[in-house]
Each structure stands twice: as structure tokens, then as C-alpha cells.
Amino acid sequence: MCGIVGYIGPKNAVAVLMDGLKRLEYRGYDSSGIAIVEDGKVELRRSVGKLERLEAVVAKRPLSGHIGIGHTRWATHGRPSEENAHPHLEGGVAVVHNGIIENYLALKEGLIKEGARFKSETDTEVISHLIHRETKKGATLKEAVKAAVRIIKGTYALAAVSEHEPDRIIAARMECPLIVGAGEKETVLSSDITAVLGITRKAVFLNDGEIVTITKDSFEIEDFAGNKISRAPRHIDWSPIMAEKGGYRHFMLKEIFEQPRVVADTFRGSVIEEKGEVFLNKFNIDLKRARRIYIIACGTSWHAGLVGKFLIEEFYRVPAEVDLASEFRYRDPLVDDKTLVIAISQSGETADTLAAVREAKRRGAQVIAICNVMESSLTREADWSFMTHAGPEIGVASTKAFTTQLTALYLLAVYLGRTAGRLGAAEGKTLIHELVTLPGKLEKALDGAAHIETLAKKYFQFRDFIYLGRGINYPIALEGALKLKEISYIHAEGYAAGEMKHGPIALIDEDMPVVMLAPKDSSYAKMLGNMEEVKARGGRVMVIVNEGDTEASARADDAIFVPNASVHLMPVIMSVPLQFLAYHIAVLKGTDVDQPRNLAKSVTVE
């Protein structure tokens, strides 16, 4: 978690860094800070809490300069406080860090014995002292950073700026993202593409074990051993406007409304409708070595994986297991060189997912990534990457990334089924035709926004919710409950509707609204039965049904109608009203929709 940013160039670094931090704030918002070289001295401004608090601090005590670094923090070591906020300053060198220094306690002890005085509880401060120890002996900033990275163990993207060398920033990467934006006479450094876009669309992605020196008109990369590395910048497809709110009150709302387009962007270019085929460029999976499938992911991406299991098993007819990445890695999973692993992650930086992928690769598995961020760590680890085209997702609660993941899984399942000959051309054609009609149906599902806002007014004061779904829509019940929890802080649980009678039914009373997903599929009759059971116990039912439904909607207290789609694509359609419901309830409760408490968009700690 945490976001780091750096700038050197003709503009006022303060403004560039604050803008960059705004774009990185989704990575953590416990505290933030900047360090600027002003009149030959490194000056710090730091504040606990969200970025607006730092803005107030800077407004009160303005700064200006053409070089600086900044940080937005998701606390790991040490509570959110000003002392623990980055940058950390020692001997005229300021340091920002994203990641965790695992051996910091031993290093700290040693440094204290040598006379170092620590001002914070963070692991990062050892880096400052290690750098200072070297510069005191006459080392340049780069040499000092190099010496520090040889000693520290753990994960990091770090950047350092010194008042003794005010024309450069030195940064290093180990398992945390770090990007250099090469502008015209200005260079920017960031944890993520979105904070580079304001300056340039030419970016260089650092690899693990690399150090970069940036000046206003150059960047030089070398490995920790000092070998020079030449790497040309890549053009970034994302435009700065994609990372703006575009007139919406929240990013989340904008991102919900973007779904028809981004879903289409995700399948466009990969489908040949007339042949009933999915074309995945450069995918040369050895299907003989794909006798078992493991899908691994976290959070919302894991919910997408649960839907993916249904699709893959039906189209490819190979058993698929879905595992939480954080669990997979700590047991002894039955993964070998006959296993195909599908790792799903919006950010491509989720530590648990990355660790699980590494473990799977160690055991010989082939790995496909489904990911939204180009050049992210996951896409580098995987053998093949299927990129979703959701564009930057800024709202911490995932919406469009989820529905594009569902789209990608659908395509992958059809691809595997067709390639293995288990789906014929005619079936492929039908499946692809259904997908091609999906964006239009999503547009219609978005029309329900106003009705759902009205329903939210009726339901927002309840303290607990149950979400029920069956079959391929059971994961959507889990996802609906997660969305509500994340942004409204209301307790919500998702269950497979058939499980209700095995326990959760004891919770049902008039204070426990039950959101039921009841599309007209083979489990519709069973869902009607579940509704009766809830109603018989005085429960309130909000049902999501297909247009034209008369039975379930008549039994429910409230109904939301969505367009009909094939059973395999109903999860995508069903997601939309649940996103709106969570969104409008959260707005009514007055929570911070885009940056809910305690969360960070990219969870880079295990």
C-alpha cells in the first residue's frame, strides 16, 4: 500500500506532488507528506489524515522548489501520526517508502548502538539512518541508497532526495511498483501510472533490484550491482482525463456508469463472432498440461473467480478450484506442472496474489493473469496476461474492474473450450453473440439508478443485511454484500440461498433486509421457496429479477428489474443494481465513498 511520488523540473514541485498524491491517495490515506528542496535545504510538510489536511498545512506554511518527493500512507508499522508520516528526514536526506522492511528491528538496534536517534515507529526510518550513515562517510546519494538496499530485506519502492545533491532523486524497487515518467525537461516518479499522466504519457517501468537516478532531463537505471540498464519509455494508453471524475460526484459512480463501454473494450478485438472463436494473441498454453485449474485472487477478484469456475467447468470441462490467494500459499496445494493457474487482480500488485503465483510457478504450473494494469508485477510474473480494459479504477470499491474480470473469464472459458474442441463452432458463435449484446443490456441496467436511489432511502438505516443467490449468482450475492460493507460500513453477509435453512435463517426478522437475486434460471423456483421462508419469518425482501417477472416481484417488498441475458452473463448484469444499492446507501450515510475507512485500493502487504 502507500503511494510515492517524486518530481524534478521547471514547475513548482509542490503542486505536482500534491496532484500526484491526490491520484495515489486510494493507496492509503492515514497520513501524507512532502519533502521539497527549498533554497538548498530539505523542508518537510506532513500531516496525519487525508490529503486535504496536508493541503491545509502547506497553505499555512507554503513551500516552493523544483525538486521533491511525496508520500501517502497506509499504516503498517506505527500508528497514523505526524511523526510516523513520510518523508523521513536524516542528515539533509528525505526518504519515502512503500513496502515493508522485514529486518528493520535488528537494523534499528544496531543503528541505535551506533548512536542513531529514531523519531518514529516506522520500519522506513532505518533506511534514512542507513543512508545517512553512508553520506556521513562521504558517499554520494546513489552510493548511499545502494548501500542501504544491500542491507535491507523486504519489499520496497523508495525514493530519496538530498539537499547536498539538489539536482537528482534516487529511487529503488523491490516487489513494489515504481514508474518513471520521462517528460520534456521534467521527470516524474510514481507508484502508479495515474500520477504520471499529468506530466507525460511516456513511462519506464522499473524491475526488482533496480535503482534509478532521475534528473530533470534524464533517467539512468542500473541494477544493485551497478550494471547500467538501458530501457526505452513506453507509451501509456490511459489518458489523464480517464483518471478524472468527469462531473460525477464520486469516482465510484462514474466507474459504475462506464461499465457498458469498458466491458465492450475488454472483449472487442478478441472475438471473431462469425467463426465463434476467441482469439488471444500469443497465448500458447499447453492444454495437455492443464488437467486441473486453480483460480487464485483476493476480495472482489476472488468473487469474479468463483463465477469463472462455473464458466470454465461448463465450457472447458476441466475441474476448477477457486482459492483465496492468502490461503492458497500457506497450505500444500495440489499444484504441479499439470496445473493451469488463473490469477485475477485489478491492480496486479496484491501481495497475497503475487505470493500465490510465485508458489504456483515454483511448483511448475502455467500461469495466466487477468489484470487491469499494464506492466504490473502480476503481468510480469505470469506466463500470459489477459488485460481487462477497465481503465484506471480510482474508487477503492471495485466495480468496473469486477465486471471486466467477469468478461475476461467468460472469454477465457470460451477460448479454452473451443481450443480443446469441447465447444463446437455453433456453440461458440452463440456464446460470443450473447457477449456482444451485453453492453446494450448493461446500459439498460444502468437506467435503474433512480429507482435504486429511492429504495436506498427506505433501507439505509438498517444495520444488517443478508444477500442470497444461487449457482452462478451466488458469488454476486457475496460481492453485493462486500460492496455494502466496504463503503457504507453496514454489516452484510452473502450466502448461497440453499444454505439459509442451515443457519442464517435464525437471523431473519423485520430488522434484517434480505436482498435476493432471482433471475429466471433453473433455480428460480427454489429462490421463490427461499423468499417464502423469509417472508414467513417477518423478513423484508428486496428482489432483483428479470424484466417481465411477475412471481418473485409480487412476493417481495421491493423489486429491481434488470434485462434478461444468458445464464452465463447474468452475473455481470446482476452486479449493477447491487453496486448502485451500496453506493446510494453509502451516500445517504455520509461515508467517504471513494476512500472508505481502513481500506486501500492496492493491498501490497500479506
Residues that bind ligand AGP in the complex, under the rule CB under 6 A: 298-301, 345-347, 350, 353, 396-398, 486, 599, 602-603
Compare residues 178 and 396 and give the one whose CB is closer to ligand AGP. 396
In the complex, the smallest distance separating the C-beta of residue 576 from ligand AGP, rounded to whole angstroms, is 15
In the complex, the smallest distance separating the C-beta of residue 64 from ligand AGP, rounded to whole angstroms, is 36
Distance in angstroms (rounded) separating the CA atoms of residues 55 and 401: 30
Q: Which residues of 59-95 are buried (b: 16+ CB within 10 A; e: fewer)?
A: eeeebebbbbbbbbbbbbebeeeebbbbbbbbbbbbb
In the complex, the smallest distance separating the C-beta of residue 256 from ligand AGP, rounded to whole angstroms, is 12
**Pairing relation of β-strands 234-235 and 228-229?**
unpaired
Compare residues 278 and 599 and give the one whose CB is closer to ligand AGP. 599
Compare residues 194 and 301 and give the one whose CB is closer to ligand AGP. 301
In the complex, the smallest distance separating the C-beta of residue 30 from ligand AGP, rounded to whole angstroms, is 16
In the complex, the smallest distance separating the C-beta of residue 491 from ligand AGP, rounded to whole angstroms, is 16
Distance in angstroms (rounded) separating the CA atoms of residues 174 and 278: 36
Q: What is the CA radius of gyration of the chain?
A: 25
Question: Directed axis angle between helix 474-488 and helix 299-316, to 10°?
Answer: 170
In the complex, the smallest distance separating the C-beta of residue 354 from ligand AGP, rounded to whole angstroms, is 9
**SS3 call for 98:** strand
Distance in angstroms (rounded) separating the CA atoms of residues 28 and 326: 20
Compare residues 47 and 595 and give the one whose CB is closer to ligand AGP. 595
**Pairing relation of β-strands 202-205 and 179-182?**
antiparallel
- Whether the CB-CB separation of 38 and 12 falls below 8 Å is answered with no
Compare residues 239 and 598 and give the one whose CB is closer to ligand AGP. 598
CA angle 529, 442, 250 (to 5 degrees): 105
In the complex, the smallest distance separating the C-beta of residue 599 from ligand AGP, rounded to whole angstroms, is 6
Q: Which runs of E-coded beta strand occur in 66-205?
A: 67-73, 88-90, 93-101, 154-162, 169-174, 179-182, 187-190, 202-205
Adjacent-strand bridge partners of 5? 70, 190
Compare residues 126 and 368 and give the one whose CB is closer to ligand AGP. 368
DSSP label of 175: B
Distance in angstroms (rounded) separating the CA atoms of residues 97 and 445: 43
Compare residues 479 and 549 and give the one whose CB is closer to ligand AGP. 479
What are the residue numbers of the active site? Answer: 2, 601
Compare residues 480 and 513 and give the one whose CB is closer to ligand AGP. 480
- Whether the CB-CB separation of 312 and 265 falls below 8 Å is answered with no
DSSP label of 500: G
Q: Is 433 exposed, middle or buried (0-12, 13-18, 19+ CB in 10 A)?
A: middle
| Of the candidates 349, 426, 323, the residue with the CA atom closest to the CA atom of residue 157 | 349
Distance in angstroms (rounded) separating the CA atoms of residues 552 and 541: 10
Compare residues 298 and 477 and give the one whose CB is closer to ligand AGP. 298
| Of the candidates 26, 68, 27, 70, the residue with the CA atom closest to the CA atom of residue 47 | 70
In the complex, the smallest distance separating the C-beta of residue 405 from ligand AGP, rounded to whole angstroms, is 8
In the complex, the smallest distance separating the C-beta of residue 300 from ligand AGP, rounded to whole angstroms, is 3
Residue 522 has which C-alpha cell? 433453473
Q: Which residue is nearest to ligand AGP (CB)?
A: 299
